[in-house]
Amino acid sequence: MNDFAVIGAGIGGALSSLFLNEKYKTTLFEKEPYLGGCSSTFKRGRYYYNSGATTFAGYENGKYLYEFLNKYNIDFEKKHLDSSLTVLYKDKKIKRLRDFNNFIEEINSAFYHQKNQHFYKLILDINKKFFQINNYYYSNKNFYSKIKSLFSFKDLLIAFYPYLFEKADTFIDEFFDGISKDYLNYIDNQVLIVAQAKTNEVNFLTCALALGYQFVDNYYVVGGMGSIFESIESKLEDVKKSEFIEKIERKNDTFIIHSNKNRLKTKNLVLNSSLFDSAELFDDKQILDYINSYEKFDLGTSAFMVYMKIDSNKNFDHHYQIILEQKLKYTISNSIFVSFADIDDEKMKGSITISTHTKNEFWSTNTKEKKQELMDIIKAIVCNYLNIDESEIIKCFAATPYTFKRYINRTSLGGIAVKYNNYVYKLPSNDTPIKGLYNVGDTTFAAQGWPGVMMGVRNLQRLICDI
Ligand SMILES: Cc1cc2nc3c(=O)[nH]c(=O)nc-3n(C[C@H](O)[C@H](O)[C@H](O)COP(=O)(O)OP(=O)(O)OC[C@H]3O[C@@H](n4cnc5c(N)ncnc54)[C@H](O)[C@@H]3O)c2cc1C
């Protein structure tokens, strides 16, 4: 019998398997033939594409992600980026630079305000302070653990008290003593990338952390995001790929896992399958009640993707955000995120991953026609803004939320939006009231992306191994 089985090899499942594997007999199951989930790199025809995540942020000395990956000797080739993103908005081009003074010059030339320096200094300070607080423990499985969690967050509460209870749009408006519609729209689109919500939906702390993402180290991962997972896989003892978990039974405090190939008995279970989709795995009433109690967090938001392969020797920036005047058809967004592979990356060169926010419900009818229509619209925008000739495009195809369901077994994407009314203590924790059942990934604490999911992995490690 196993000590642990981990269902799903996204960031959460793969990283958790590293520390579990050290102490316990652990098996990691992944439905696809490769690891990574929303952060994977897949091959279609002769070419490789990043499926979702393209930016690798927060990998720097003193931060969990850096310490954790180094502890397990996870080795991958990367390139440091001076700018996390180039924003194209009307006639403006704003590089979100890592260097503070250079960025102030950049933002002042796009949206001059005498308080810009003061505002971004506040963002920088909040981020520095936030990442120094790393003694948190988060569990909401019972009353005692909730109290303990609250205590562990006390430094954070004390440090950021005023920002936790102030809505970001109000704070910004008061801080700048009025801000132009265009500038707020720019800020909104930056916050949306990280928090999955805009400034009228988040508190100022969340907004500051989202805006601060440019002031942490950002990297381009050579060979695609998948290369990080190849290194992780090489350190694990038991990884079962192309093995889809169909059902999980609970019997006398053990779990019996039924995959498309085998059965396995385990004392403990870590679900990295999205919490919104994990209910499909169980018949057990207590487990279903637990999972379904978080249904309200599933806002049905997801991504529409366009993947391209181009034949071009132009040296594009790595990441662009194109902000449009109007919302795109079949989306909930007026911006698209475009990531280019590095020109020197042999494996990925010419590969482009483009995403925008959508709702699952838009794709339940006439999917094929809508998909083609939106793909053509996005393709035309990208070609126009980034000066790509249609003749340079070798391949172009799209993915809807249902494509994600088919491949990585989840429809809603982007994790739980950290909104004003979703205080941290309401979020699902990495442990559960059910003995031996744990969660990890972007639909549980702390949030999405490499830094967010890593915080959840660290919390899970604390809960299981008490370190
Ligand atoms: C379009 C897009 C762009 C993004 N861009 C960035 C970015 O640039 N930078 C960044 O840091 N973050 C980004 N994110 C967020 C980031 O990708 C995710 O938050 C993160 O990858 C989620 O990790 P996870 O641990 O929740 O696992 P997931 O990625 O959800 O992976 C879960 C895994 O479990 C497997 N699985 C599910 N059910 C089963 C089952 N029954 N049996 C076996 N296996 C199963 C799936 O196949 C999958 O591999 C982006 C997300 C999206 C959607």
Residue 55 CB less than 6 A away from ligand 1: yes
Q: What average pLDDT does range 435-447 have in this prediction?
A: 95
pLDDT bin (cut points 50, 70, 90) of residue 130 is confident
Q: What is the pLDDT of residue 195?
A: 87
Strands 301-310 and 393-399: antiparallel
Question: Which pTM does this prediction carry?
Answer: 0.97
Q: What average pLDDT does range 212-233 have in this prediction?
A: 97
Helix (H) or strand (E) holding 383: helix 367-386
Strands 393-399 and 437-439: unpaired
Structure tokens at 257: 């896992």
Structure tokens at 385: 């803004």
Residues in the chain: 467
Residue 411 CB less than 6 A away from ligand 1: no
Least Cα distance to 123 among 140, 103, 138 occurs for 103
Q: What is the DSSP letter of 272?
A: -
Task: For helices 168-176 and 181-195, give the axis angle rounded to 10 degrees.
Answer: 140
Distance of CA 119 from the midpoint of ligand 1 (Å): 33
Q: What is the pLDDT of residue 423?
A: 64
Percent of the chain with pLDDT over 90: 87
If one residue of 38, 272, 403, 405 were mutated to test the ligand 1 pocket, choosing by the most ligand atoms within 8 A of its CB, it would be: 38
Strands (E), 272-392: 301-310, 319-323, 335-340, 351-359
pLDDT score of 180 more than 70: yes
The closest residue, in CA terms, to atom 26 on ligand 1 is 441
Cα-flanking dihedrals φ and ψ of residue 87, to 5°? -100, 130
pLDDT score of 196 more than 90: no
pLDDT score of 421 more than 70: no
Q: What average pLDDT does range 62-79 have in this prediction?
A: 96
Task: Strand 78-81: give its sheet, edge to edge.
Answer: 56-57, 218-221, 78-81
Which of residues 423 and 291 earns the better pLDDT score?
Answer: 291
pLDDT score of 52 more than 70: yes
pLDDT score of 424 more than 90: no
Distance of CA 137 from the midpoint of ligand 1 (Å): 23
Radius of gyration of the chain (CA): 22
The fourth-level CATH superfamily of domain 2-78+224-297+418-466 is: FAD/NAD(P)-binding domain (3.50.50.60)
What is the rounded end-to-end Cα distance, in angstroms, of the chain? 25
Q: CB neighbours of 295 closer than 8 A, spacing ≥ 6?
A: 276
Give residue-wise pLDDT tens across range 76-102: 999 999 999 999 999 999 999 999 999
Structure tokens at 367: 């999917």
pLDDT bin (cut points 50, 70, 90) of residue 62 is confident
Count other C-beta atoms under 10 Å from residue 329's C-beta. 10
Which of residues 130 and 419 earns the better pLDDT score?
Answer: 130
Residue 213 CB less than 6 A away from ligand 1: no
Q: Domains of the chain: which residue ranges?
A: 2-78+224-297+418-466
pLDDT score of 135 more than 90: no
Q: What is the pLDDT of residue 246?
A: 98
Distance of CA 305 from the midpoint of ligand 1 (Å): 14
Residue 401 CB less than 6 A away from ligand 1: no
> Are the CB atoms for 273 and 405 separated by under 8 Å?
no
Residue 404 CB less than 6 A away from ligand 1: no
HSE toward the beta carbon, residue 443, CA cutoff 13 A: 28
The neighbouring-strand residues paired with 413 are none
Q: What is the pLDDT of residue 422?
A: 65
pLDDT bin (cut points 50, 70, 90) of residue 444 is very high
Report CA-CA distances (Å) from 31 to 46, 156, 458, 459: 22, 38, 24, 25
Number of the ligand 1 atom closest to the C-alpha atom of 57: 11
Least Cα distance to 96 among 80, 114, 109, 82 occurs for 82
Q: What average pLDDT does range 223-238 have in this prediction?
A: 98
The closest residue, in CA terms, to atom 24 on ligand 1 is 441
Give residue-wise pLDDT tens across range 324-348: 999 999 999 999 999 999 999 999 9
Least confident window among 173-187, 250-264, 306-320, 420-434: 420-434
Percent of the chain with pLDDT over 70: 99
Structure tokens at 372: 């083609």
**Which residue is associated with the tokens 């980026």?**
81
Alpha carbons 452 and 227: distance in angstroms, whole number: 20
